[in-house]
Amino acid sequence: MSRRIEIELTSSRDDGIWTWRAAGAREPKGELEGGLLYDGAKVGDVVRADAEFNIDGIEVRAVLPPRSARKQPELLEIVGSGRSDEPVTTSLVRRDRREGGRKPRDGAGRRDGDPRRRGEDRAKARRPQPESRPKPKRLRAGRANRKAVLDSLPAEQAPVAEQVLRGGIPAVRQAVERQNELARSEGRPEVKPDQLMTLAEDLLPRLREAEWRDRAEAAKADIEELDLRDLRSVVVAADTAARDEECRRLAVELREALQRRVEEEHAKWLAELSETLADGRLVRALRLSSRPPKAGAPLPADLGKRLAAAASDGLTSETTQDRWATVLDAVAYSPVRSQVVPVSWPVEPNEELLREIARLASRLPHIAGKFGIEPSSSPGQARGARPRVPRPSQPGTSRSGDPKQAPAKDRPAPRPPEPGGGGSSPVTDQVEDLPRSGEDANPVNRQ
């Protein structure tokens, strides 16, 4: 695999062969053809070279001439006239206020005679803004352990290890295929991938452990402020990556911290939910109830009854239909959706409200039935997920264009997990195989 390195020319022979070594080091070293060098090359020059690292050694394919010294451009000096004239002048003049001030108006300034509400009255009527919670930190892993592993490898194995870190075994296979395609186009012999694949598989456990250790040390540094999703992903990955005793101790420490953080976040979530409901912010409380930080923990019975009663009292015939749609959308994804029964119903529901009820009919069948909408006759939506806009398709064909495949609406939708219920964790056992952005990606674990 070709990569660019800096080399130092050490000697030249009569047959036109030059010897080189890595700039500032004794290894690696090798030989190159004199025809690859530029005019005026001499012993001691430090140049950049494109080299291919193969099993047999390092082969220099091209040598770039050293960069010439940059000449500074000639600059013009602005002397100026020497005068300090200000382009803009200002002068402030004091103006006397009218004696006696303004005359009071009848009715406190309103033409209809009604007095205006004073500022303090408006301040009392305005609802206080909730305190904004700081966003949790995302995991930003360093590269100290991975760099130590790369430095300990021989120079010819380093490119393979870098490809493994970049994308796992598939990345090595793709790099070999690209190199062989280039070799075929240039008429050079191809590289056999078997030895490189074996080398990559041998390096994979060490690189996987080094990458996990980088992520684990970064998680330990921000253990109190780290996002629970990132902390949970590091703990789950420890089952396959932590091999030595030190890594196992670190994994135990992170697992205990995760359990403690989850309990603390769950207690804060219950307190915030109760406070939000007491302040009368119904929609906020319903949406908050659908996102518990502790998976599998049910909502307390008394808090669930209060939330269902508040949602039922908020759906009456006097409630605006826009408010109906907003509350129903929040109820549909809350754990108390089956307990919510409106106090009264709209007399003449408009099309927007009926369309929203039809969209949520599979999650609120007891409410949709009051409007004459059955879940089976409503637009097909995947249960457990918010609906998406469907793409237009040809009649009688599926999305893939196969006429033999039944349409999506005829296939039964999977039953959703209850919000806040179930025993599954948001992070699955294959979290290491999912691509992530930034330094906390896990390409090593994809094989």
pLDDT in tens, 304-327: 999 999 999 999 999 999 999 999
The whole domain housing 316 covers 302-387+412-418
Whether residue 70 is contained in a domain is answered as no
**Is 12 a residue whose pLDDT tops 80?**
yes
293 and 432 in a common domain: yes
179 and 38 in a common domain: no
**Is 401 a residue whose pLDDT tops 50?**
no
* CB-based contacts of 416, cutoff 8 Å, min separation 6: 363, 383, 384, 385
Instruction: State pTM to two decimals.
Output: 0.49
Whether residue 445 is contained in a domain is answered as yes
How many domains, the chain?
3
Q: Answer whether the bond into residue 28 is a cis peptide, omega within 30°.
A: yes
Domain limit, last residue, from 64, 97, 112: 64
281 and 381 in a common domain: no
In this predicted structure, what is the pLDDT of residue 86? Answer: 66
347 and 239 in a common domain: no
Q: Which amino acid is at 283?
A: V
In this predicted structure, what is the pLDDT of residue 428? Answer: 32
Query: What's the whole-number average pLDDT of the chain?
Result: 77
Whether residue 277 is contained in a domain is answered as yes
190 and 143 in a common domain: yes
CATH number, residue 8: 2.40.50.140
Q: What is the average per-residue pLDDT within 105-132?
A: 51
292 and 143 in a common domain: yes
Whether residue 143 is contained in a domain is answered as yes
Domain limit, last residue, from 64, 79, 111: 64
Domain limit, last residue, from 45, 64, 83: 64
Cα 397 to chain centroid distance, Å, stands at 35
Contact 320, 347 (CB under 8 A): no
Q: What percent of the chain has pLDDT over 70?
A: 72
Q: What percent of the chain has pLDDT over 90?
A: 29
Structure confidence at residue 334 as a pLDDT band (50, 70, 90): very high
260 and 323 in a common domain: no
**Total Cβ atoms within 10 A of residue 443:** 19
Whether residue 131 is contained in a domain is answered as no
Lowest-confidence region among 16-25, 187-196, 319-328, 404-413: 404-413
Question: Closest by alpha carbon to 327, among 344, 310, 339?
Answer: 310
In this predicted structure, what is the pLDDT of residue 127? Answer: 57
Structure confidence at residue 438 as a pLDDT band (50, 70, 90): very low
Whether residue 126 is contained in a domain is answered as no
323 and 184 in a common domain: no
279 and 195 in a common domain: yes
267 and 150 in a common domain: yes
Whether residue 401 is contained in a domain is answered as no
Structure confidence at residue 130 as a pLDDT band (50, 70, 90): low
442 and 342 in a common domain: no
**3-12, 25-34, 52-61, 150-159, range with greatest mean pLDDT:** 150-159
Q: What is the average per-residue pLDDT within 66-92?
A: 71
> Which one is predicted more confidently, 242 or 188?
188
> Which one is predicted more confidently, 103 or 189?
189
Question: Closest by alpha carbon to 289, among 304, 279, 275?
Answer: 304
Q: What is the average per-residue pLDDT within 256-270?
A: 90
Contact 46, 2 (CB under 8 A): no
Q: What is the average per-residue pLDDT within 275-280?
A: 92
Lowest-confidence region among 126-140, 221-235, 374-388: 374-388
31 and 165 in a common domain: no
**Is 343 a residue whose pLDDT tops 50?**
yes
* CB-based contacts of 101, cutoff 8 Å, min separation 6: none
Whether residue 69 is contained in a domain is answered as no
